[in-house]
Chain A
Amino acid sequence: MDEQRMQVLQMISEGKITPEEGARLLDALGQDEKEPGEIRPRPAREKSGHMLRIRVIDEDGTKVNVNLPMGLVRSASRLATKVIPNEAREAMNRQGIDLSEIDIEELVNELENGTGDGRLVDIQDEDGTKVEIYVD
């Protein structure tokens, strides 16, 4: 299907078809990709590509799902370093942790792109409790 899209784009660049015609063709190709009767779920977000998902399934069947857009994680992380109280900051400094040295932006980028399948944490306890943290 990608090859057909490329052909359409090439035809536009060569002036064989107008951009409007090309857009219609690309739309038609997009329709073909969908199976008949298939209802596609609405994307959770489109602003940034990824979502940090935290899934906890407890032994008694309790399920917790938390979904955080990576853009939100990025903003919240930047803010989090600012809201740490002075006393806590000093205590961390005494332990040799300098918050100013932590590049939050890079950390979030690594979270977003660092692992192949996006899986950050996957723990299954003997009693059946399961914790998963992943980016998709």
Chain B
Amino acid sequence: MRKSLFLVVRVKTSEMKRGLFIPMPLFVLDEVVKGLADLAELVMWLAPGLERRVSAHVGPRPVEWIRMVADIIPELRAYGRWTLVEVESADTRVYINMY
């Protein structure tokens, strides 16, 4: 199955004529997050004190946080075209779709 390429957020309200359309390229986000993880690894290596301070508050190492996000993105992409969220109220509609 083809991987999802875009996460698209669509917002329509009764006041908006055309609605809001926010495409997020998942294949780019995937690479960016992986790059961020490497960058965070470097920063934490250069400033180990910073890592200890952050970890004391949030639990896992900051690099692990970023790696977790990096692990989720391929999972999101693995199912092709599907709808993650649909919200419909009287005058607002929000959709999050994977394409």
Contact surface of A with B, Cβ cutoff 8 Å: 42, 44-47, 60-69, 71-72, 75-76, 79, 82-86, 89
Contact surface of B with A, Cβ cutoff 8 Å: 1, 56-60, 64-65, 68, 71-72, 75-76, 78-90
Report the bound CA distance from A44 to B79 in whole Å: 7
Contact flag A44-B78 (CB < 8 Å), given A62-B87, A63-B88, A75-B72: no
Contact flag A60-B90 (CB < 8 Å), given A47-B1, A47-B78: yes
Our pick among B57, B79, B89 for the contact of A45 (Cβ within 8 Å) is B79
Contacts of A69 in B (CB 8 A): 75, 78-79, 82
The secondary-structure label for the interface of chain B is mixed
Verify B59–A65 contact, CB threshold 8 A. Answer: no
Verify B89–A61 contact, CB threshold 8 A. Answer: yes
Contacts of B81 in A (CB 8 A): 42, 44
Verify A45–B80 contact, CB threshold 8 A. Answer: yes
* B54 → A minimal CB distance (Å): 11
Contact flag A83-B84 (CB < 8 Å), given A47-B78, A75-B75, A89-B59: no
Our pick among B68, B87, B90 for the contact of A79 (Cβ within 8 Å) is B68
Verify A67–B60 contact, CB threshold 8 A. Answer: no
Report the bound CA distance from A86 to B87 in whole Å: 34
Our pick among B64, B72, B86, B90 for the contact of A65 (Cβ within 8 Å) is B86
* B37 → A minimal CB distance (Å): 14
Verify B72–A72 contact, CB threshold 8 A. Answer: yes
A–B pairs, 18, beta carbons within 8 Å? A42-B80, A44-B81, A45-B1, A45-B80, A60-B89, A60-B90, A65-B86, A65-B87, A66-B85, A67-B84, A69-B82, A75-B72, A76-B72, A82-B68, A83-B68, A85-B57, A85-B59, A86-B59
